[in-house]
Structure 1
Amino acid sequence: MGHTSEVNDPTLVDGFYNWGTRVNSREREFELSNGKNISVSVVNSNGSSLKQYANQSSHIGYGIGDSDGGGMNQNERLIIDFTENPLTYVQFGLDGLGGLFVDGSSTRVEITFALEDGSEVVKSYQKSPGDTGNSQLLYEFDFSSPNNPIVSMELESTGGSWELRYISGYENPTSPDSFNYLAVDSDMEVSETKTVTLTLENAPEYTAVDADSNGVFQAGLGQEVMLGTDGQDIFKWLDDALDSGKDVVVNFNIEDGDVIDLSDVLDVDEEAGVDDDVDETIDDLINAEVVGNDVVLTVDGGDTEQKIVIHQGKEILEDYISANDSIDELGMYAEILKLTD
Structure 2
Amino acid sequence: MDPKISIIVPVYKIEHYIHKCVDSILAQSFKDFELILINDGSPDDSGKICNEYSVKDSRIKVIHKKNGGVSSARNAGIDLATGEYILFVDSDDWIEKDALDTLINQLKLEKSDSIIFGSVKDLYTEQKLIKSELNGVHKKVNINVSDLGSNFVYLFNTVGLLASWMYLFKAKIIKDHKLYFNESLVLYEDFDFNLRFLKNSINLTFIPNVLYHYNMSTSINQLAKRNKYNIVSDINTVSNSLLEFLELIGNKEGIVRQMYPYILTMYTLPLKNIILHKKLKLREKFKVLEELRNDKIFAKVFLEYGKNLKFYKLFYAFINKRMYLAAYYLISLKFK
Give the TM-score, by structure 1 length: 0.28
| Structure ranking higher in strand proportion | 1
Q: Of the two structures, which has the highest relative contact order with CA contacts closer than 8 Å and spacing of 6 or more?
A: 2
Between structure 1 and structure 2, the one with the greater Rg is 1
| Structure ranking higher in helix proportion | 2
